[in-house]
Structure 1
């Protein structure tokens, strides 16, 4: 496999194949979908720490309201984009590594439980942080 071909495995056992500028999705029923155009939902303004940018994102979750949560590894934070917005806001963390309980040293992945808590992998602090998110603030 060369650097232009990549395999990704999704949550529902779907396999994603990327080649050049096209994405092919294969599901367990062997149906193939050729995705030619996507919709920008977060970031997209180049690498950086502005609220319209990401730096090495390493995880994504979309909630029931369509908000997109991203573990922004390079900026050491958890970001949230409300459905339909172009600018995100920082939920927790900041642009800078730390061992404090409200900061990260490379936020790497995330997951929600059924109670609305988010679990963030804090890679270089060797821990998983459990956070309660207040979406009204």
Structure 2
């Protein structure tokens, strides 16, 4: 693999085949050669690549839609509920958090299917058929 200068920039070539490019600078082209050959890169660059791959693989962040109470009474009630929730005992808060369903439309937890052991017949349940039967 080598780098050559062509009309609009620098190209990474191997024999007659163009592998990458065009790059605006010679340094960018040689960096591409290093990546293609699997040569070690600096720790900072490894870290940046790792972070970028995690961000890109995660997809878009879910958007939160908050409804604001319009009336004075609604604002007061929301504030009172938050205050009361903060004063609740720890065992109640953890239990409520474990069973709270923010979307309010899941009657059961799909992720719990098949968690009863290797020999369990539940492991052989097709989730699509199960959901079709529940509807």
Q: Does TM-score exceed 0.5, indicating one fold? A: no
Question: If the length of structure 2 is used for normalisation, what is the TM-score?
Answer: 0.19
Q: Which has the higher contact order (CA 8 A, sep 6+)?
A: 1
Which is helix-richer, 1 or 2?
2
Which protein shows a greater Rg? 2
